[in-house]
Chain A
Amino acid sequence: MSRESEHEESILHRYFDGELESEETAEVRRLLSARADLRMDLERMGEIRSLLRESVEKSAAELDSDDLFARIEARIDRDGEEPKRDVRPRLVAIEGGKRTRRVAAVVLGAVAIAAAVLLFVIRPTESSGVLDDSIAVHSGDASESVATVETVFQTEVIEVDFGDNSGAIFAIEGEHGERHAVVWLADVQPTEGIVE
């Protein structure tokens, strides 16, 4: 490539990139008007830029940025993790006295848990008794009091089958924080017997 050709190519690229001063721009325009080969080169540059832009836009559209971000985060987290420790149990020889204390602590712990278990075994029995009482009260006993029942003041709708109707479930909060359930169903009248 001759020196003149190099200059032309360079100035053409700079023209294409919009980097020329006004005098140089005027020079290039003169060249372009006179030279078909330079016009063709300029046209090719435009085509290449268009292809590149389309390709970049397509890649950007296909890129799942959320997924990419998640992968990057996961990678960062993984890199930041401490090296895995040896999962094999460490076997430590303990002197006799220490071992005795350790076993005693384990036994005491077991006794404490057993006591807790006993406590919870006893509690349901008391509860059942109260329930039996409340049932007796509901059966007509004069002393109508179920104050000892530990009540959860929330009424809940567990299941509703609206069938062919449509409906909604509301919850109204009461003065004492209790919740009243409201099931509201549309009343669709049966169409039987309607003569058109």
Chain B
Amino acid sequence: MTWSSCIEIVNCARAHGVLLWSFGVFMGVMGGASPVWAQAQPGAAARGEVFVVLASEGEGSMDPSLADIPALRQPPFNTFRSMSVLSRSTAQISVERPMEVALPNGRHLRIELERVLVDGRYRVRISINTPGRADYLSLLEVLASPGDPFFVAGQNWQGGTLVIGVRIGQRPAAR
């Protein structure tokens, strides 16, 4: 092996070291910037809206205030021929301050905001139970897109089915 070959080996090793270091830093920063692994922001808050709908397969009318929610006209909701809004509640929810809504059947819906992701979605925990008991929905964790409702349905009440819509945050104006 010649002397110049030895120098080349050292230089090559250094160059590879630089590249590897840079790549490591790059991947680390990429990982940190990704919305999926975003950390919680202390003090995160959002507007929470809960609307409770009584849906029935019997003849009836659709509540006009639900016209802006086309999801309620798609399966599995399209078998209902009447829907009426029983209550609509809004509140500011934060990590420290959950939202509680009393349902007509005596159970309580509780929404806890866990954090806001960098992509704008909200991570929330939902539970629906009779106070002091765990008799219906112990835990539901959702990544909610701002302003898009999600639904918890299936509770029987007065011959119909309760459909609870939950909307966190507000839909971006650009859509």
* A184: interface (CB < 8 Å): yes
Instruction: Verify A174–B70 contact, CB threshold 8 A.
Output: yes
The docked-state distance in angstroms from the alpha carbon of A158 to that of B115 is 14
How many residues of chain B get a CB closer than 8 Å to chain A's CBs? 67
Instruction: Verify B137–A165 contact, CB threshold 8 A.
Output: yes
Residues on A with beta carbons closer than 8 Å to the beta carbon of B138: 161-163
Residues on A with beta carbons closer than 8 Å to the beta carbon of B47: 138
Instruction: Verify B143–A155 contact, CB threshold 8 A.
Output: yes
Mark the stretch among A17-25, A32-40, A60-68, A107-115 that contacts chain B.
A107-115
Interface residues of A in 179-195 (CB under 8 A from B): 179-187, 189-190
Instruction: Verify A146–B155 contact, CB threshold 8 A.
Output: no
Instruction: Verify A185–B152 contact, CB threshold 8 A.
Output: yes
* B141: interface (CB < 8 Å): yes
* A92: interface (CB < 8 Å): yes
* B67: interface (CB < 8 Å): no
* A145: interface (CB < 8 Å): yes
Instruction: Verify A114–B120 contact, CB threshold 8 A.
Output: no
Instruction: Verify B151–A113 contact, CB threshold 8 A.
Output: no
Interface residues of B in 140-175 (CB under 8 A from A): 140-146, 148-156, 169-170, 172-175
Q: Which residue of chain A has the shortest Cβ distance to B163 in the bound complex?
A: A182
Interface of A is mostly: mixed
Q: Which residue of chain A has the shortest Cβ distance to B73 in the bound complex?
A: A172
The docked-state distance in angstroms from the alpha carbon of A120 to that of B22 is 13
* A76: interface (CB < 8 Å): no
CB within 8 A of A99: which of B11, B116, B137?
A: B11
Residues on A with beta carbons closer than 8 Å to the beta carbon of B30: 120
* A51: interface (CB < 8 Å): no
Given A151-B121, A161-B140, A184-B76, 20 more pairs with CB closer than 8 A: A102-B11, A106-B18, A107-B18, A113-B25, A124-B32, A124-B118, A131-B120, A134-B116, A135-B41, A137-B170, A146-B172, A149-B119, A152-B145, A153-B148, A155-B142, A157-B140, A163-B138, A182-B71, A182-B151, A185-B136
Q: List 5 A-B contacts (CB under 8 A).
A: A117-B29, A124-B32, A124-B118, A163-B135, A184-B153
